[in-house]
Structure 1
């Protein structure tokens, strides 16, 4: 039975009468709709949050409230436009940050920022640079944020936690697919020690933690019609972690010459041009704030996050595709292979990636 979107949207403190509600986008996790209103009232984004991914939606929405209010104060202080340069959470008519329907699903609303451009892929170096500037700006705006944030997804980007899940998935073999995946499982196991060594530096504080977005693909940055960065959106995964996770996750998508689920692996590689452009944009905002250990591991973070994604896609395939939305039965395995090809390209070009980071950081410090 389809949800009554009109009734659900009416639970929120919207301005203007609801004219229409239509599906928006094709996200992996949440179901997203655009609520059009009559007259001069703003339009809105309505989302059903995925309970299997976000077990505590009220805590997640509290994180978003704290972070967006902090950014809004920074935007106002800088003379910017708080209605366009930061997301605006719309409460329910009872003042809550989300609405729970009769099925136990949680819904949330934000103001739709009109006259903007969003990209599904960075297809020019200049766009990659602006994306890097956008995430760097988001992190910089939160550099002095010191309120506690809930861990909305347990162990997100924590490879020690992911390995615990991975070992359980291997033992479970829920979909009976393990017997056909010896090569792919070998890809994961051969890099286990290296990835744990990196994460241990986060655990012991050598690499510090900050507020991070944790889902930095380019379609989570809004641009105005002149191509200027407006703000980061889709803040469901905002938590405390290392800033390097945001950088690595962005490189995984921005600098990939193919698609995340590309069937043609000959198209998949790391573009050093795009890597350099994103690095330049990011470090233009963050170089002065990052410590030496963060700079030293910035390039490695792209390998780390891409490896983690190989593991997560393969783990979901082993489990019978319970986490990511799939379009066909082998989709997660195709994603695994494409991400592994990208990882191998990063490993081959790693010395040059490190050189680019060092020289760019020096330029901005």
Structure 2
């Protein structure tokens, strides 16, 4: 039986009179506990925030406050459902040691994969428009909600450490994977080169397709959501994560190795969306860096999956012992395919 012992305090802090029958669980998110609330003629999303995963909620509030102050919602073709301040003006409400936040509910469809290139194009446009909307914001003002999240150089060093300290026998299939990923030194060096050339921007930093809400008929994007990972980053981060998750012919847990390829129509649609929005806003070097982003983000996930397997599967949820090994192998095939483009 669901306990809503926190409800009276939520009502007090937000000026509601919500009853338990107006609350129901919502979505299939794995990090935060999410509820849909009906109050008078409006709907809201209430989240019990997992501050074990995001250990710096004050940094997220800081970044969201910048967005609230600096981004004009009238200049965006979609909604940013940012947290609603409570009666004290705070974006998080702490109740019995737990963090809660309230946000407007946005109608539409949230999907885990796209079926057509045009849907990929709309996704790329939306995430690029988000970056452009905040291009005037000094990226150094943003705080790291997850430190070193996309630092390829650090992830490479972590993989090296995992290889040297693992209790597993590095032979056979595991040795092939270790050798492949350690041979990506050139990609790591290219990362350092792009960092020296490119400006830091406000990036979404987790551009999965399910972090968008489409219109019911998929004619447009209604909202860009899951804004907890907003940080200073590079444009190729957001493009690259889209490529990794949208333009692959198989999901990241697939073992259909021979079927893991780049879906070129979707890849071209993603590139078109970013280039169209970025023209005149992004630098020439930022546009040139986009194809590298797909390789880099695929490689970094391969590093992370493989390191986790070597460390004894301590970070990612697995359903069988070799799943992180297979995820790393999956990303290897995708990276090889991207490197052939």
- State if a TM-score over 0.5 links the two structures: yes
The alignment of Structure 1 onto Structure 2 pairs a total of residues equal to 333
Q: Report whether the alignment pairs 1:54 with 2:47.
A: no
Structure 1 contact 270–342 (Cα < 8 Å) conserved? yes
Q: Report whether the alignment pairs 1:85 with 2:86.
A: no
Structure 1 residue ranges without an equivalent (≥5): 350-365
In structure 2, the residue matched to 1:63 is 63
Alpha-carbon offset, residue 44 of structure 1 = 1.1
Alpha-carbon offset, residue 329 of structure 1 = 3.0
Structure 2 contact 26–36 (Cα < 8 Å) conserved? no
Q: Report whether the alignment pairs 1:21 with 2:24.
A: yes
Q: In 2, Cα distance between the equivalents of 1:311 and 1:101?
A: 38
Structure 2 contact 194–289 (Cα < 8 Å) conserved? no
Q: Report whether the alignment pairs 1:152 with 2:153.
A: no
Q: Report whether the alignment pairs 1:311 with 2:303.
A: yes
Q: In 2, Cα distance between the equivalents of 1:141 and 1:50?
A: 28
Alpha-carbon offset, residue 249 of structure 1 = 0.8
Q: Report 1:1-365 matches (<5 A).
A: 4-7=3-6, 10-11=9-10, 12-13=13-14, 15-18=16-19, 19-27=22-30, 30-51=31-52, 53-71=53-71, 73=72, 75-76=73-74, 78=75, 85-100=79-94, 102=96, 105-113=98-106, 115-146=107-138, 148-173=141-166, 176-180=167-171, 181-192=174-185, 194-204=186-196, 206-226=197-217, 227-349=219-341
Alpha-carbon offset, residue 47 of structure 1 = 3.8
Structure 2 residue ranges without an equivalent (≥5): none
Structure 1 contact 306–339 (Cα < 8 Å) conserved? yes
Q: In 1, Cα distance between the equivalents of 2:332 and 2:8?
A: 41
Structure 2 contact 44–102 (Cα < 8 Å) conserved? no
Alpha-carbon offset, residue 38 of structure 1 = 4.4
Flag the 1:348–1:156 CA change in 2: closer, same or farther, 3 A.
same
- When normalised by structure 1's length, the TM-score is 0.83
- When normalised by structure 2's length, the TM-score is 0.88
